Amino acid sequence: MPVTLLLTTITMLAFASNSLLTRAALADGAIDAISFTTIRFAAGAVTLVALTLWQSGRRERSRLLVALPGNWTSAVCLFVYGMGFSLAYLRLGAATGALILFASVQAGMIAWGVRCGHHPNRTEAVGLVIAFVAFVVLMLPGLHAPDLWGSLLMMSAGLAWAAYSLRGRGSADPLGETAGNFVRMSLACLPVALLKYNSLHAGGDGIVLAVICGSVTSGLGYSIWYHAMRGLKPLQAASVQLTVPLIAAVGGMLLLSEAPTLRLVVAGGSILFGVSLTILSKGSPAAPTRLAENLSGRSTSGPRAS
C-alpha cells in the first residue's frame, strides 16, 4: 500500500502539472496553442512508444512496429481533448481550467452511465444536483465568471477525455494502445499546423514546457497511473482524482501568481463535494463495467486510461 500511495501521489501531481505547464507556456506567449499541442503529444508518443518497446519481448516488438496498437476513434477523442485543452488555457487560469475539465469529465462519465442503465440513487442524485447548481453559479455572468469561450473549449476537452477514458477501460494493452493513440493524434495535428503555419510561433521556453508536459507529466504520468491503479479499488481511483483541481489551484497560486476568487473557491468546493457524493455512493458496482463495455464493445479487464 505505501508504494501504491506514492505512485498515486506522483500521478495526481503529474495530472495537475499538465494544467500548470500548459497555462505557463501559453499565458506568456512563449508558444501558440497548436504548436504546444503538437509538440506535447509528439513528445508523449516518443516516450510511450519507447516504454512499450522496452517492456515488450523481441517478437512483440516486431509486431508493434508492423501493427500499431490503438485506433483512430480514440485518437480523435484525444485530438479534441488536446486541442480544446490548450486553446482553453489561452483564456482560463490553471485552477479554473482544471476544475471545469474535471467536472466535465465526471459529468460525461456519469451521463453515459445513466444512458447505459445505471440510474442514480438518492445520494447520487443529491450529489449531482449540488454539483450542477454549483457549476451554474460558477458560470453565471459577472465580474469573476470564467471566460465563456474558454469554458466551452475546456468542457469539450473534458467530454472528449471522458469518452477516451471509457474506451480505454477495455484495453488488454493500455500502455501500447495509449502509445498508438498518441502517435495517431500527433499525425492528426500536422494538417492543422500546416493550415495555421503563418500564425505559429514557438520559443525555446515554450518548446521545453511542451516536451516536459508530453514526456513527463503525460507520458510517464499515465504509465505510473497504470501501475498505481493495480493497488486501488475503482472507487478509490475515481475519488482520488478529486485532488487534481485542488493541487492545480495551489500550484497556480504559488507558481503562476493566480489569485483564486471567492466564487471559484465556493463553487469549486461545492462541485467537488457533489461529485464526491456521487462517486462514493453505494451504487451498483457493475455500472462502470457495463458502461465501458457498451462504449468500447470489449471486456473491462484492463485499467482505465486517465
> By the 8 A CB rule, do 234 and 288 touch?
yes
Task: State the virtual CA torsion across 123, 276, 283, 158 in degrees, nearest 10.
Answer: 120
Query: What confidence score (pLDDT) does residue 62 get?
Result: 66
Q: Could you report the per-residue pLDDT of 123-143, keeping only the tens digit for each?
A: 878 887 888 888 888 777 665
Cell numbers that stand for 106 in this block: 465526471
Spans of the chain, pLDDT less than 70: 1, 57-66, 141-143, 169-171, 234-236, 238-239, 279, 282-306
Q: Is the dihedral of CA 73, 225, 217, 243 positive or negative?
A: positive
Query: What confidence score (pLDDT) does residue 42 get?
Result: 95
b/e 131-154 (16+ beta carbons within 10 angstroms → b): beebbeebbeeeeebbeeebbebb
Cell numbers that stand for 127 in this block: 450529489
| SS3 at position 58 | helix
| SS3 at position 91 | coil
